[in-house]
Chain A
Amino acid sequence: MKLGRHFTYIVGYVASMMLTLAAYGAVTGQWLMGRWLIGGLVVLALVQLVVQLKLFLHLGDEAKPRWQLMAFWFMLLVLIILVAGSLWIMYSLNYRMTPEQMNQYLIKDEGIHL
């Protein structure tokens, strides 16, 4: 039992270290490019998230009912709505403005006459 607990921290530490170095190497050593690189970095970060949640924060180890885990899932839902929603709105502004609105914006705010 005593060895077991220490062992999870050592595994978590070594795994996090390797994932961090892999992500760093992928960028500076240019092992991957463009979309593949971004995708690879996201995967490495998410794996490290799971490793640390499980082995350092012991999420999901509590007895039922697992309130901590439920609070975590709810937080994740809010987080996804917040981040994805913000990016969606901000990057689709062009698409969502009518041509008239766009012309008015260009004339009034940017001083551009087409």
Chain B
Amino acid sequence: MSQSTTHSTAALDLKTTFGFWVYLMTDCVLFATLFATYAVLRGSTLGGPGPHELFNMPFVLAETLILLTSSFSVGLGVLAARQGQQARVLFWFGLTFVLGVAFLAMELTEFSHLVTEGNSWRRSGFLSAFFTLVGTHGLHITSGLIWMLLLVPRIFTRGLNAMMVRRLTLLSLFWHFLDVIWIFIFTVVYLFGVAR
């Protein structure tokens, strides 16, 4: 690779990363509005069950640790991609995908338990805000998984070229960002919810 192509690749990397970063920042503002709504409606249970009765904390802790581990594995996946180690990229992104699916499955299990026990988003203002905030995060996780599913198999056909490494980097930024949002969902919704 000549010096000028190396230079233009690096410049393009910086530009796309910054563009994607701006998107992530606006997504943070979206989550801020949902957190504000949740904070206002937290006590509005309309005589229905509150966080104490509804949240299964060991289950939520397991979800949290799974998502955190997937954030770690996606980071190692990008490092492997930058070093051109295809087998390792496939391993770490594969692991991230499996952990992401496990997280999503646990979240949907929690939601379906709540709904079948009559505590859906229609039950109270608190539950509406809860489902909106946590569900929006879950939708982001779902789109991240679809993105992984569409992007990673193309490594087989196209190899780890500069464009592929750049796209894997953006995907990893998105995934790390979702784990950062989850820290606050775990703290504000679940831990504050059951704190005495």
Residues of A within 8 A of B (CB): 2, 5-6, 9, 12-13, 16-17, 20, 23-24, 27-28, 30, 33-34, 37-38, 41-42, 44-45, 48-49, 52-53, 56-57, 62, 67-68, 71-72, 74-75, 78-79, 82-83, 86-87, 90
Contacts and interface: CB of A to CB of B under 8 A. Distances in A.
Contacts of B39: 83, 86-87
A82 B29 contact: yes
Contacts of A12: 72, 75
Contact of A45 (B29, B36, B179, B187): B187
Nearest to B74: A56
A77 to B, nearest CB: 10
Given A24-B61, A38-B195, A52 B36 contact: no
B61 to A, nearest CB: 5
Interface residues of B, number: 42
Given A38-B192, A78-B29, A83 B36 contact: yes
Contacts, number: 107
Nearest to B172: A56
Most chain A CB inside 10 Å of its own CB: which residue of B26, B35, B71, B191: B191
By Cβ-Cβ distance, the 8 closest A-B pairs, closest first, are A86-B36, A75-B25, A13-B72, A45-B187, A79-B32, A56-B176, A9-B75, A90-B40
Contacts of A5: 79
B153 to A, nearest CB: 24
B40 A86 contact: yes
A26 B26 CA distance: 32
A57 B68 contact: no
11 contacts: A5-B79, A6-B79, A9-B79, A17-B68, A20-B68, A34-B196, A49-B183, A49-B184, A62-B14, A74-B25, A79-B28
B32 to A, nearest CB: 4
A52 B79 CA distance: 16
Given A2-B83, A57-B177, 17 more contacts: A9-B79, A12-B72, A23-B191, A24-B61, A24-B191, A37-B195, A41-B192, A41-B195, A49-B183, A49-B184, A52-B71, A56-B72, A68-B18, A79-B28, A82-B29, A82-B32, A90-B40
B21 interface: yes
A114 to B, nearest CB: 24
Given A12-B72, A49-B183, A57 B173 contact: yes
Nearest to B21: A68
B183 A52 contact: yes
Contacts of B72: 9, 12-13, 56
A6 B35 contact: no
